Amino acid sequence: MKPTSPFLPLVRELVRTYQAFERLSAGHVRSMGLTPAQFDVVATLGNTEGMNPKQLGEKTLITKGTLTGVVDRLLDKSLVQRLPDPHDGRGQIVRLTEKGQALFEAVFPTHVAYMAKALAGFDSTLLGPTQQALHALRQVLEQAGGTEDDA
């Protein structure tokens, strides 16, 4: 029997754990009337003066073409506004409206509390080590992505 990669179980567990998180999180976010991508954008803009779509895309990992659409839909809901960028005539600043800010303040803590409650059973002594291990794993993955030489 050929030995499969020792990394497979780790990767599988990463995927399953993320999926469990995502299902829980997305379900709650949707019940508040936002898609995960929309929540991501609102949460990223919360407590900021706004930022241009490029920065927003980098933080949320949403590509620019898609981001235009996500922002459009948030605009339809009057949750964000597009302002001209004073420093760059090509650019713009996407910023929460008052309504968006109010939603952020109502929804973000609720969501954090919801997730915190869900995670309450997790052994807190594992918090730090798990986080560090994930971070190390991410470093490796990002480096591989940056290098990008095909197998």
Partner DNA sequence: TATTGTTATACTCTATAACTATA
Partner DNA sequence: TATAGTTATAGAGTATAACAATA
Where in 10-49 is the site for DNA (CB under 7 A)? 26, 30, 35-38
11 binds its own copies (CB under 8 A): yes
The binder of 52, among its own copies, DNA, none, by C-beta within 5 to 8 A per type, is DNA
Report the DSSP beta bridge partners of residue 94.
51, 82
Q: Read off the DSSP letter of residue 120.
A: T
Here's the x/- map for DNA, 48-87, by CB under 7 A: it reads as: ----xxx-------xxxxxxxxxxxx--------x--x--
142 binds DNA (CB under 7 A): no
Phi/psi of residue 94, nearest 5 degrees? -95, 130
- Least distance CB 79 / its own copies (angstroms): 22
Q: Is the dihedral of CA 116, 121, 124, 128 positive or negative?
A: negative
Nearest CA to 103 among 145, 143, 144, 74? 74
Paired tokens of 139: 């470093």
145 binds its own copies (CB under 8 A): yes
Which positions ≥6 away from 81 have C-beta within 8 Å?
75, 94, 95, 96, 97
33 phi-psi bin (left φ>0, alpha ψ -120 to 50, beta other): left
26 binds its own copies (CB under 8 A): no
Where in 83-102 is the site for DNA (CB under 7 A)? 85, 88-92
24 binds its own copies (CB under 8 A): yes
In terms of CB distance, is 2 or 87 closer to DNA? 87
Question: Could you give the count of Cα atoms lying within 13 Å of 117 in the half-sphere of its Cβ?
Answer: 9
126 binds its own copies (CB under 8 A): yes
Q: Which residues bind its own copies (CB under 8 A)?
A: 4-11, 13-21, 23-24, 27-28, 31, 61, 110, 112-124, 126-127, 129-131, 133-138, 140-145, 150-151
